[in-house]
Amino acid sequence: MPYLSSGLLVLFGVTTASSSPYGILVAPLAVNEMVLAGRLLIRGFRVGAGDGAPRQSSSQVASSAETSRAASSGTR
C-alpha cells in the first residue's frame, strides 16, 4: 500500500520523486528487491532448488511404474 500511495502523491503533485516522504514510502520495496536478487543469485532460479528432494529422470519414473505394475499383477 505505501507503494501505491507514494505514486499517487507524486502523480497529484503533493510531493516529488526526490523528496524524503517518497523515499521513506519506497524504501521497503527497494530492500525487498535487493533481498530477492541476492537470494536468486545465491540459490539459483530453478524451481524446487531448495526442497532437497532428488529429481527423477523420465526413465526412472517409467521403470518405477513398470516395477509397481509388475508387483501388483503378480500378487493377484
- Count Cα neighbours of 73 within 13 Å in the Cβ-side half-sphere: 6
What mean pLDDT do residues 24-50 have? 83
- The rounded distance, in Å, linking the Cα atoms of 69 and 7 is 60
In the block, cell 523528496 appears at: 19
The pLDDT, as a whole number, for residue 15 is 84
For residue 8, give the nearest of 18, 22, 20, 29 by alpha carbon: 22
The answer on pLDDT for 75 being more than 60 is no
What mean pLDDT do residues 52-70 have? 64
- Choose between 27 and 69: higher pLDDT: 27
Q: What would the pLDDT profile of 14-25 be if each residue is shown by its tens digit? A: 888 888 888 888
- The rounded distance, in Å, linking the Cα atoms of 22 and 14 is 10
| 10 and 17 Cβ atoms separated by less than 8 Å | yes
